[in-house]
């Protein structure tokens, strides 16, 4: 982090909480309070009220265009509708009344870390997430071989992240010895930078970098995982994620942040049904996911009773890649602790993986636009009496 002072704008209904936050800001050297009529907002702390439907489109636009660096929603409780809308639009923080000074400081720290990552956004790498419609579909084999193949073209440019739960198996597929895992990063996320990240990452003999998972069943905290994945974008050209969809159906960060989402399925009715439900779940939580979703039919046998075209009709989506059944070579590669694409490069499955690696899109560049909108109306709407404020329905969002 760069130690800069972060500007803050308050748009609150509750005068007592406004006074409280003004005091917290005055005592915190990391932040400074802006006037309501400032051109840019810095961090906007906004308490939704009766005009929330009118205000939110302007707030989201300010966040998307850079007029607001970050937005924290504030209130006594979180309204679920605004919560979902805010999360989808990039609002990651909710301050519960009465605002706790430590909670505010932690939110500012996360904003500062995200800002540090954004400073070098021109060279951001791309996240490719592979997730199985159900267990036992060979997703880890595909993820390991895809990462290895990408790394062959530019050693050290690719990292393989093991987020499969309850327990990841990537190290077994690579015969990899390691000392640290992503749990160590989560335990001390405030230290996260490129140097700390690289001290935790393990390196395979091929030059492929790996971020293993811990030997426990928990998933990483969503906010910590967001920061880890964004930091990885600034260190590597390609981030390949091996994961499993959570049982509770919530959209995981490695799917939400992915540039490419590959859902792996078999050509069997149970697997296709699970794949369809998985796609519906992702689409319902992330309307922008459709352009990033791809299907892979893995372990396709020559005598399969369900054809690729028939499966595509069932799923209502084209199958982007077909990987032929090659159980003998796949099992032998696992037992050797070697990527399938390395141990058996002429295998039909390895050739399919090579096509997958070759087809991954190049790195993208982010350009932050400097559009501005007048916000005088937004702040005028907050000039209410305390009695009116007490009757408002409060809402917010969490990370």
Are 354 and 375 contained in the same domain?
no
Highest mean pLDDT out of 35-44, 142-151, 216-225, 241-250: 142-151
Closest CA to 10 of 242, 1, 187, 20: 20
Residue 341 lies in a domain: yes
Helices 327-336, 348-359: inter-axial angle, 10-degree rounding? 80
Residue 398 lies in a domain: no
- The domain total for the chain is 2
Give residue 390's pLDDT.
44
Burial class (CB in 10 A: 0-12, 13-18, 19+), 117: buried
- If residue 106 lies in a helix (H) or strand (E), which one and from where to where? helix 101-118
Q: Measured between alpha carbons, how far is 240 from 260 in angstroms, rounded to an integer?
A: 10
Are 140 and 98 contained in the same domain?
no
Mean pLDDT, all residues of the chain = 84
Are 103 and 138 contained in the same domain?
no
Residue 1 lies in a domain: no
Residue 318's domain comprises 125-359
The answer to which of 4-8, 9-13, 368-372 has the lowest mean pLDDT is: 368-372
Q: Measured between alpha carbons, how far is 219 from 208 in angstroms, rounded to an integer?
A: 23
Tokens of 98: 């009465």
- Residue 299 pLDDT exceeds 60: yes
Are 242 and 380 contained in the same domain?
no
Where residue 141 sits, what CATH number does that domain have?
A: 3.40.50.300
| Residue 175 binned pLDDT confidence (cut-offs 50, 70, 90) | very high
Residue 74 lies in a domain: yes
Are 104 and 231 contained in the same domain?
no
Give residue 124's pLDDT.
80
Give residue 116's pLDDT.
59
Are 109 and 206 contained in the same domain?
no
Residues 43, 70: contact at Cβ < 8 Å?
Answer: yes
Residue 280 lies in a domain: yes
Which tens digit of pLDDT belongs to each residue from 40-50? 889 999 999 88
Are 257 and 305 contained in the same domain?
yes
Q: Measured between alpha carbons, how far is 100 from 17 in angstroms, rounded to an integer?
A: 11
Give residue 119's pLDDT.
52
Give residue 115's pLDDT.
66
More confident call, 295 vs 106:
295
Give residue 15's pLDDT.
93
- Residue 268 pLDDT exceeds 60: yes
Residue in the structure block whose two tokens are 């005592």: 27
Average pLDDT, integer, range 186-213: 89
Residues above pLDDT 90, as percent of the chain = 52
Residues 264, 139: contact at Cβ < 8 Å?
Answer: yes
Are 334 and 385 contained in the same domain?
no
Are 380 and 331 contained in the same domain?
no
- Residue 371 pLDDT exceeds 70: no
As a residue count, the chain comes to 399
Are 179 and 307 contained in the same domain?
yes
**The CA-based dihedral angle spanning residues 199, 202, 208, 213, taken in that order and rounded to the nearest 10 degrees:** -120
Three-class secondary structure assignment of 321-335: EEEECCHHHHHHHHH
| Residue 38 binned pLDDT confidence (cut-offs 50, 70, 90) | confident
Residues 72, 8: contact at Cβ < 8 Å?
Answer: no
Residues 209, 159: contact at Cβ < 8 Å?
Answer: yes
Which tens digit of pLDDT belongs to each residue from 329-358? 999 999 999 999 999 999 999 999 999 999
More confident call, 188 vs 238:
238
Residue 78 lies in a domain: yes
Residue 271 lies in a domain: yes
Are 141 and 110 contained in the same domain?
no
- Residue 376 pLDDT exceeds 70: no
Where residue 21 sits, what CATH number does that domain have?
A: 3.40.50.2300
Residues 60, 143: contact at Cβ < 8 Å?
Answer: no
Residues 22, 99: contact at Cβ < 8 Å?
Answer: no
Are 193 and 84 contained in the same domain?
no
Q: Quote the DSSP letter at residue 95.
A: E
Residue 364 lies in a domain: no
The answer to which of 247-261, 367-381, 384-398 has the lowest mean pLDDT is: 384-398
């Amino acid at each position: 982090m760069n130690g800069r002072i972060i500007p803050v704008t308050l748009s609150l209904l509750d005068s007592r909480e406004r006074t409280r936050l003004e005091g917290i800001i005055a005592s915190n050297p990391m932040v400074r309070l802006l006037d309501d009529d400032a051109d840019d907002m810095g961090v906007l702390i906004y308490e939704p009220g009766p005009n929330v439907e009118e205000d939110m489109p302007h707030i989201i636009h300010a966040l998307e265009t850079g007029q607001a660096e970050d937005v924290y929603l504030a209130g006594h409780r979180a309204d679920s509708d605004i919560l979902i809308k805010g999360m989808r639009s990039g609002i990651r923080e909710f301050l519960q009344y009465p605002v706790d000074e430590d909670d505010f400081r932690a939110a500012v720290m996360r904003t500062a870390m995200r800002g540090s990552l954004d400073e070098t956004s021109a060279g951001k790498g791309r996240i490719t997430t592979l997730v199985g419609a159900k267990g036992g579909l060979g997703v880890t084999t595909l993820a390991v071989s895809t990462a290895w193949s990408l790394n062959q073209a530019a050693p050290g440019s690719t990292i393989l992240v093991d987020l499969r739960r309850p327990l990841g198996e990537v190290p077994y597929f690579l015969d990899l010895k390691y000392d640290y895992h992503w749990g160590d990063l989560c335990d001390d996320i405030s230290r996260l930078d490129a140097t700390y990240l690289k001290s935790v990452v393990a390196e395979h003999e091929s030059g492929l970098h790996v971020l293993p998972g811990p030997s426990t069943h928990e998933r990483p905290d969503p906010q910590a995982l967001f920061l880890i994945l964004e930091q990885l974008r600034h260190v590597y050209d390609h981030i390949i994620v091996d994961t499993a969809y959570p049982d509770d159906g919530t959209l995981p960060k490695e799917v939400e942040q992915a540039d490419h989402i590959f859902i792996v399925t078999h050509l069997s009715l149970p697997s296709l049904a699970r794949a369809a439900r998985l796609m519906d779940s992702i689409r319902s939580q992330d309307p922008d996911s459709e352009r990033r979703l791809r299907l892979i039919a893995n372990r396709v046998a020559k005598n399969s009773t369900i054809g690729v075209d028939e499966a595509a009709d069932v799923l209502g989506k084209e199958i982007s890649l077909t990987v032929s059944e090659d159980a003998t070579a796949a099992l032998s590669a696992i037992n050797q602790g070697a990527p399938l694409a390395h141990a058996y490069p002429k295998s039909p499955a390895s050739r399919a993986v090579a096509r997958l690696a070759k087809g991954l899109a190049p790195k993208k560049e982010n350009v932050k636009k400097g559009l501005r909108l007048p916000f005088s109306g937004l702040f005028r709407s907050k000039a209410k009496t305390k009695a009116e404020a007490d009757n408002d329905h409060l809402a917010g969002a969490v990370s």
